[in-house]
Chain A
Amino acid sequence: RKEVEQDPGPFNVPEGATVAFNCTYSNSASQSFFWYRQDCRKEPKLLMSVYSSGNEDGRFTAQLNRASQYISLLIRDSKLSDSATYLCVVNRGGATNKLIFGTGTLLAVQP
Protein backbone atom coordinates (compact mmCIF):
# COMPACT_ATOMS: atom_id res chain seq x y z
CA ARG A 1 0.00 0.00 0.00
CA LYS A 2 1.33 3.45 -0.92
CA GLU A 3 1.92 5.94 1.85
CA VAL A 4 -0.17 8.60 0.06
CA GLU A 5 -3.06 7.39 -2.05
CA GLN A 6 -5.12 9.26 -4.59
CA ASP A 7 -7.62 8.37 -7.28
CA PRO A 8 -5.61 8.89 -10.50
CA GLY A 9 -8.72 9.93 -12.46
CA PRO A 10 -9.05 11.34 -15.02
CA PHE A 11 -11.80 13.64 -13.87
CA ASN A 12 -13.49 15.13 -16.92
CA VAL A 13 -15.69 18.05 -15.91
CA PRO A 14 -17.37 20.91 -17.80
CA GLU A 15 -16.34 24.50 -17.23
CA GLY A 16 -18.05 25.95 -14.21
CA ALA A 17 -18.39 22.63 -12.42
CA THR A 18 -17.33 21.93 -8.86
CA VAL A 19 -14.92 19.04 -8.45
CA ALA A 20 -13.44 17.41 -5.37
CA PHE A 21 -10.31 15.31 -4.97
CA ASN A 22 -9.56 13.08 -2.04
CA CYS A 23 -6.37 11.68 -0.65
CA THR A 24 -5.50 9.37 2.24
CA TYR A 25 -2.20 8.96 4.02
CA SER A 26 -1.01 6.05 6.12
CA ASN A 27 1.52 7.58 8.52
CA SER A 28 -0.34 9.03 11.49
CA ALA A 29 2.77 10.99 12.53
CA SER A 30 2.65 13.09 9.36
CA GLN A 31 3.03 16.73 10.21
CA SER A 32 2.14 18.93 7.29
CA PHE A 33 0.09 18.61 4.16
CA PHE A 34 -0.02 20.24 0.77
CA TRP A 35 -1.58 20.20 -2.65
CA TYR A 36 0.77 20.68 -5.59
CA ARG A 37 -0.27 21.27 -9.17
CA GLN A 38 1.64 19.81 -12.08
CA ASP A 39 1.03 20.78 -15.69
CA CYS A 40 1.91 18.34 -18.45
CA ARG A 41 5.71 17.87 -18.71
CA LYS A 42 6.34 20.63 -16.16
CA GLU A 43 7.58 20.62 -12.58
CA PRO A 44 5.20 20.44 -9.61
CA LYS A 45 4.27 23.79 -8.08
CA LEU A 46 2.77 24.45 -4.68
CA LEU A 47 -0.94 25.14 -4.99
CA MET A 48 -1.81 25.45 -1.33
CA SER A 49 -0.97 24.21 2.12
CA VAL A 50 -3.62 22.28 4.05
CA TYR A 51 -4.21 23.28 7.65
CA SER A 52 -6.09 21.42 10.36
CA SER A 53 -8.81 24.05 10.44
CA GLY A 54 -9.28 23.92 6.68
CA ASN A 55 -8.39 26.80 4.42
CA GLU A 56 -9.57 28.53 1.31
CA ASP A 57 -7.80 30.38 -1.47
CA GLY A 58 -10.21 31.86 -3.98
CA ARG A 59 -11.98 29.01 -5.74
CA PHE A 60 -9.90 26.38 -3.93
CA THR A 61 -10.74 24.88 -0.53
CA ALA A 62 -8.56 22.36 1.27
CA GLN A 63 -9.62 20.22 4.22
CA LEU A 64 -7.69 17.95 6.56
CA ASN A 65 -9.13 15.24 8.78
CA ARG A 66 -6.31 13.94 10.98
CA ALA A 67 -8.49 11.31 12.67
CA SER A 68 -9.34 9.73 9.34
CA GLN A 69 -5.98 10.61 7.77
CA TYR A 70 -7.79 12.19 4.87
CA ILE A 71 -7.15 15.33 2.82
CA SER A 72 -9.42 16.92 0.26
CA LEU A 73 -9.30 19.65 -2.35
CA LEU A 74 -12.43 21.33 -3.71
CA ILE A 75 -12.33 23.45 -6.85
CA ARG A 76 -15.36 25.60 -7.53
CA ASP A 77 -16.31 27.18 -10.86
CA SER A 78 -13.71 25.17 -12.79
CA LYS A 79 -11.77 26.96 -15.51
CA LEU A 80 -10.08 25.47 -18.56
CA SER A 81 -6.80 26.61 -17.02
CA ASP A 82 -7.40 24.35 -14.01
CA SER A 83 -6.67 21.32 -16.21
CA ALA A 84 -3.62 19.69 -14.65
CA THR A 85 -2.55 16.92 -12.32
CA TYR A 86 -3.14 17.61 -8.64
CA LEU A 87 -0.66 15.97 -6.29
CA CYS A 88 -1.45 15.28 -2.66
CA VAL A 89 1.70 15.72 -0.59
CA VAL A 90 2.54 14.86 2.99
CA ASN A 91 5.55 15.70 5.15
CA ARG A 92 6.18 12.56 7.13
CA GLY A 93 7.96 14.55 9.81
CA GLY A 94 10.17 13.10 12.52
CA ALA A 95 13.69 12.15 11.49
CA THR A 96 12.57 11.79 7.89
CA ASN A 97 12.07 15.34 6.73
CA LYS A 98 10.88 14.87 3.22
CA LEU A 99 7.71 15.27 1.23
CA ILE A 100 5.90 12.15 0.07
CA PHE A 101 3.83 12.55 -3.07
CA GLY A 102 0.72 10.75 -4.18
CA THR A 103 0.42 9.58 -7.77
CA GLY A 104 -1.70 12.61 -8.63
CA THR A 105 -5.23 13.09 -9.91
CA LEU A 106 -5.65 14.25 -13.48
CA LEU A 107 -8.27 16.92 -14.05
CA ALA A 108 -9.49 17.82 -17.54
CA VAL A 109 -11.91 20.75 -17.71
CA GLN A 110 -13.92 20.68 -20.91
CA PRO A 111 -15.31 23.77 -22.68
Chain B
Amino acid sequence: DTGVSQNPRHKITKRGQNVTFRCDPISEHNRLYWYRQTLGQGPEFLTYFQNEAQLEKSRLLSDRFSAERPKGSFSTLEIQRTEQGDSAMYLCASSLGQPDYNSPLHFGNGTRLTVT
Protein backbone atom coordinates (compact mmCIF):
# COMPACT_ATOMS: atom_id res chain seq x y z
CA ASP B 1 0.00 0.00 0.00
CA THR B 2 1.61 3.28 -1.08
CA GLY B 3 -0.93 5.63 0.48
CA VAL B 4 -0.62 7.80 3.57
CA SER B 5 -0.29 5.66 6.67
CA GLN B 6 -1.17 6.72 10.22
CA ASN B 7 -0.57 4.95 13.50
CA PRO B 8 -2.20 4.13 15.78
CA ARG B 9 -5.74 3.95 14.37
CA HIS B 10 -7.26 4.48 17.79
CA LYS B 11 -5.88 5.83 21.05
CA ILE B 12 -7.66 6.02 24.37
CA THR B 13 -5.84 7.91 27.08
CA LYS B 14 -6.54 9.46 30.43
CA ARG B 15 -6.59 13.20 30.86
CA GLY B 16 -3.15 14.55 31.61
CA GLN B 17 -1.25 11.86 29.72
CA ASN B 18 0.95 12.53 26.71
CA VAL B 19 0.24 10.91 23.35
CA THR B 20 2.18 10.72 20.10
CA PHE B 21 0.85 9.93 16.64
CA ARG B 22 2.83 8.99 13.58
CA CYS B 23 2.21 9.71 9.90
CA ASP B 24 4.05 8.21 6.93
CA PRO B 25 3.22 10.21 3.80
CA ILE B 26 3.32 9.02 0.21
CA SER B 27 7.04 8.61 -0.37
CA GLU B 28 7.67 11.27 -3.00
CA HIS B 29 5.41 13.89 -1.37
CA ASN B 30 7.28 16.83 0.11
CA ARG B 31 4.28 18.47 1.76
CA LEU B 32 2.74 16.99 4.89
CA TYR B 33 -0.33 18.39 6.68
CA TRP B 34 -2.00 17.70 9.99
CA TYR B 35 -5.72 18.33 10.43
CA ARG B 36 -8.12 17.73 13.28
CA GLN B 37 -11.75 16.79 12.82
CA THR B 38 -14.53 16.64 15.40
CA LEU B 39 -18.02 15.26 14.92
CA GLY B 40 -20.13 17.28 12.53
CA GLN B 41 -17.23 19.49 11.45
CA GLY B 42 -14.90 19.51 8.51
CA PRO B 43 -11.18 18.96 8.99
CA GLU B 44 -9.46 21.94 10.62
CA PHE B 45 -5.90 22.80 9.66
CA LEU B 46 -3.29 22.41 12.40
CA THR B 47 0.13 22.64 10.75
CA TYR B 48 2.12 21.75 7.68
CA PHE B 49 5.65 20.89 6.61
CA GLN B 50 7.52 21.31 3.41
CA ASN B 51 10.22 18.69 3.65
CA GLU B 52 11.51 19.03 7.21
CA ALA B 53 10.53 22.67 7.66
CA GLN B 54 7.37 23.47 9.59
CA LEU B 55 6.00 26.43 7.65
CA GLU B 56 2.77 27.26 9.40
CA LYS B 57 0.94 26.52 12.63
CA SER B 58 -2.70 27.24 13.32
CA ARG B 59 -3.89 29.14 16.38
CA LEU B 60 -5.62 25.84 17.23
CA LEU B 61 -2.20 24.37 17.94
CA SER B 62 -1.66 25.32 21.57
CA ASP B 63 1.71 24.98 23.24
CA ARG B 64 0.71 21.48 24.34
CA PHE B 65 0.91 20.37 20.72
CA SER B 66 4.15 19.82 18.86
CA ALA B 67 4.82 18.34 15.45
CA GLU B 68 8.05 17.26 13.86
CA ARG B 69 9.24 15.91 10.55
CA PRO B 70 12.93 15.45 11.28
CA LYS B 71 14.13 13.95 8.00
CA GLY B 72 11.44 15.21 5.73
CA SER B 73 9.78 11.81 5.60
CA PHE B 74 7.49 10.65 8.43
CA SER B 75 6.00 13.08 10.93
CA THR B 76 4.93 12.87 14.54
CA LEU B 77 2.30 14.88 16.37
CA GLU B 78 2.59 14.95 20.15
CA ILE B 79 -0.03 16.21 22.56
CA GLN B 80 1.14 16.83 26.11
CA ARG B 81 -1.14 16.90 29.15
CA THR B 82 -4.14 15.82 27.14
CA GLU B 83 -7.54 17.35 27.85
CA GLN B 84 -10.99 16.01 27.06
CA GLY B 85 -11.35 18.70 24.43
CA ASP B 86 -8.48 17.10 22.52
CA SER B 87 -10.72 14.13 21.66
CA ALA B 88 -10.99 14.13 17.88
CA MET B 89 -9.84 12.45 14.70
CA TYR B 90 -6.32 13.55 13.78
CA LEU B 91 -5.80 13.37 10.04
CA CYS B 92 -2.52 13.48 8.20
CA ALA B 93 -2.35 14.33 4.50
CA SER B 94 0.40 14.73 1.95
CA SER B 95 0.88 16.25 -1.48
CA LEU B 96 3.58 16.76 -4.06
CA GLY B 97 4.05 20.50 -3.79
CA GLN B 98 1.19 22.88 -3.15
CA PRO B 99 -2.11 20.98 -3.04
CA ASP B 100 -3.66 21.97 -6.31
CA TYR B 101 -5.37 20.61 -9.39
CA ASN B 102 -2.31 18.66 -10.48
CA SER B 103 -1.20 17.61 -7.01
CA PRO B 104 -4.18 16.58 -4.93
CA LEU B 105 -4.06 16.18 -1.18
CA HIS B 106 -4.19 12.57 -0.04
CA PHE B 107 -5.35 11.71 3.45
CA GLY B 108 -4.44 8.88 5.74
CA ASN B 109 -7.22 7.08 7.57
CA GLY B 110 -6.62 9.05 10.73
CA THR B 111 -5.94 8.46 14.41
CA ARG B 112 -9.03 8.67 16.60
CA LEU B 113 -8.13 10.03 20.03
CA THR B 114 -10.40 9.64 23.02
CA VAL B 115 -9.41 11.38 26.25
CA THR B 116 -11.26 10.09 29.31
Contact = CB atoms under 8 A, between A and B. Distances in A.
Given A43-B91, A45-B107, A46-B104, A97 B40 contact: no
A98 B42 contact: no
B42 A102 contact: yes
Interface in A56-108: 87, 91, 96-104
Contacts of A46: 104-106
B33 interface: yes
B104 A101 contact: no
Nearest to B42: A101
Contact of A44 (B31, B40, B43): B43
A10 to B, nearest CB: 11
B42 to A, nearest CB: 3
Contact of B100 (A31, A87, A101, A102): A31
A100 B56 CA distance: 14
Contacts of B99: 91, 97-99
A104 B97 CA distance: 25
Interface bracket on B: 20 to 34
Interface residues of A, number: 23
A98 B33 contact: yes
A98 B31 CA distance: 10
B98 interface: yes
B43 A101 contact: yes
Given A101-B42, A103-B40, A91 B109 contact: no
Interface of B: 31, 33, 35, 40-45, 48, 56, 91, 98-101, 104-110
Closest 9 pairs (CB-CB, A-B):
A101-B42, A43-B107, A97-B98, A101-B43, A43-B109, A103-B42, A46-B104, A49-B101, A32-B100
